[in-house]
Amino acid sequence: MGPTATGKTELAVEWAQRLPCEIISVDSAMIYRGMSVGTAKPSPDTLRTAPHHLVDILDPSETYSAARFREDALTLMADITARGRVPLLVGGTMLYFRALDFGLDTLPDADPVVRARIDALAADAGWEGVHLALARVDPVSAARIHPNDPQRLQRALEVFELTGRPLSSFHAQPRASQLPYDVLRLALMPADRTQLRERIARRFHAMLEAGFMDEVRALKARGDLNPQMPSIRAVGYRQAWACLEGELDDEAMVSKAITATRQLAKRQMTWLRSYPQTRQYDPETLDHEGIFQTVAAHVNDPR
């Protein structure tokens, strides 16, 4: 686990090549086909040498959920272990990790009347106004949801209006994992956020050089996608889409995309600080062989 741009995939690939492990991606953007550059998806050569489950499984027009991820991941974990191998879960979508580890409470179904009321608030005060309304009743969810994420904002406020409970309370962790496995939880947690901020900026510029805007142009040219879809709301993609729409110039797009990615990393670290039974490592001072030996000892433990 860990925030974006900390080198999780590189470590996981090394371990999968040296140990009898199979990687399961825990990333809500890597699930989409045709979105490789902007999600920092492993290269085709890497995927051939270290296959990743739950990568390139959906078209960008489709949606996915934490509940579906949990179901898919549990099925894969059972299959992998039945073949005498070890699942290695890697990614930064913390809601998926928590759903898999601790389960999900049953949430109320969508209510068109409540949604219409929230849409009316958004039309009057903007989605930032909806974000402020959410912050008053569920500050935990408001801290995790970006003001430019209307679908998640609407859902969080809808759940509160329907149940009187903050959405964050449904995600509260039980005391024990619900997984039927002996789990080793490792997290890359930067001690120096300045270095992470710089790493994020460098990576986004590298994505641009690798053809990120051409990738977004191809998605836009399909004609069946829009910026309200979860795939296009992914960090970087929504800013690039706005640039292609003429809403942002190139300089503003780069600035906003880097800022959004840094905000994502901050939210990921907030989740990780409260994640139980997790060994945390600073990626800037990481002893690669030392952490590998820790993982190898766990993998080779006959329990």
Q: Which residues are annotated as a binding site for substrate?
A: 4-9
CA-to-CA separations, 28 to 2, 47, 88, 271, 291, in angstroms, rounded: 14, 18, 17, 16, 26
Instruction: Enumerate long-range contacts of 16-21, CB under 8 Å, 24 or more apart.
Output: 16/50, 16/88, 17/49, 17/50, 18/292, 18/296, 19/86, 19/88, 19/295, 19/296, 19/299, 20/84, 20/85, 20/86, 20/299, 21/85, 21/86, 21/87, 21/88, 21/299
One-letter-per-residue 3-state SS of 46-71: HHHHCCEECCCCECCCCCCCHHHHHH
Residues flagged as binding site for ATP: 2-9
Tokens of 151: 């679908």
Alpha-carbon torsion (197, 275, 155, 8), positive or negative: positive
Binding residue ranges = 2-9
